[in-house]
Structure 1
Amino acid sequence: GCGKSTLLNNIAGLDNPTSGNIYLDGKPIEGTGVERGVVFQQYALFPWRTVLRNVTFGLEMQNVPKQEAEDRAMKYIKSVGLEGFEHAYPKELSGGMKQRVAIARAYAVNPEILLMDEPFGALDAQTRVQLQQELLDTWQREKKTCFFITHDVDEAVILAQRVVIMSARPGRIKKVVDIDIPYPRTQDIKTSPRFVELKNMIWDEVYQEFLEIKK
């Protein structure tokens, strides 16, 4: 309840801030735009469209020629490990596979910024770890700016270059922690002393907020 999703929705242009402005490359954000791709927790796929057609949707809105849109969509379908499922419908996919489709769709429009609102929060632990690693691998290739919301401290430390901790209501930026663990990263780093140190530091800040709420 500190305003994480509200902040993301404002950056995405889905909501308007009650005061102040949000700037992207020096220009105020006014509404949605193709330079921002959004991945929600609950997939938000079109059930009547195949995997391929879900991924090409944003490209169709940009009037990208059909063959180019399909070629670009297939590139990202392959990159998230769904080659062979391009003609399947969402009802035929597991939760993790649906989220892969949503990630591929966001990447396909070539956004400057990828906005991800707890995209792995509803998945089982094994699938979550797998998609974290796939996101890290994709980021290594694409080098897109990613604004990623999570309440999982482990997830924040393994993915991020910078972790922004928000305070409880009213939501404020409480602390910014630079994550100085080098890339490429794998799940093995979770046992490293520096990972544990950063995790404990961030968790302590979050726990202090919990204690403040209970007062």
Structure 2
Amino acid sequence: MAKHSRLETLCAMKNIGLVPVFYRPDAETSCGIMRACAEGGARVIEFTNRGDRAIDVFKELAAYRDESLPEMIIGAGSVCDAPTAAMYIAAGADFIVSPILDRETALLCNKRKIPYSPGCGSASEIHQAHELGVEICKIFPGEQVGGPAFAKALKAPMPWAELMPTGGVAPTDKSLEEWFSAGIAAAGIGSKLIKGSFSSKEDYKKLTDKTAEVISKISKIRTKI
């Protein structure tokens, strides 16, 4: 079951503003990435369900979190149906992320008080997600559905919508400022943040430094808007 409550998870996402997103097929590297992100200030991470037996890696990631990094909030991404969501929730996921809006997954997560962030690309999908109890909608793919302009335009008639784009957000001043000025609650950043083979301590140190840099940039942008 989840280690962190629904409210704690949602507040952490919004307060930090960054959710690193990654998949690695081995637990050792995945745990190293999680620790590097944690040391950089990112308490919330998303491990994606992208490879064969990804759930086995996630179970080891969750066990490592429980033993060594209890403050970490870990979610499962690329989850497209309720049975898969249930599997990850049983393995310790604090939240579920999907590239699509799936009613059965939303209902399951709501029953278990697990935050669910479905991929939405229109005002109608976001409205449907709200009806199903979703607090933070994933805008996916962020760049292809309209980028920051889409978020800004949608927030005008729906100012209560909390948005988290993934895909199309870069860890640069320009990209972050455009997105957060448009009113997003947080940004999911994958390969543009998490790169490299992670074969040495220096590789993880670079990720820690980059994570801390991005969080600092987000904080500074927020003070101006």
TM over 0.5: no
TM-score by length of 1: 0.34
Q: TM-score, normalization: structure 2?
A: 0.33
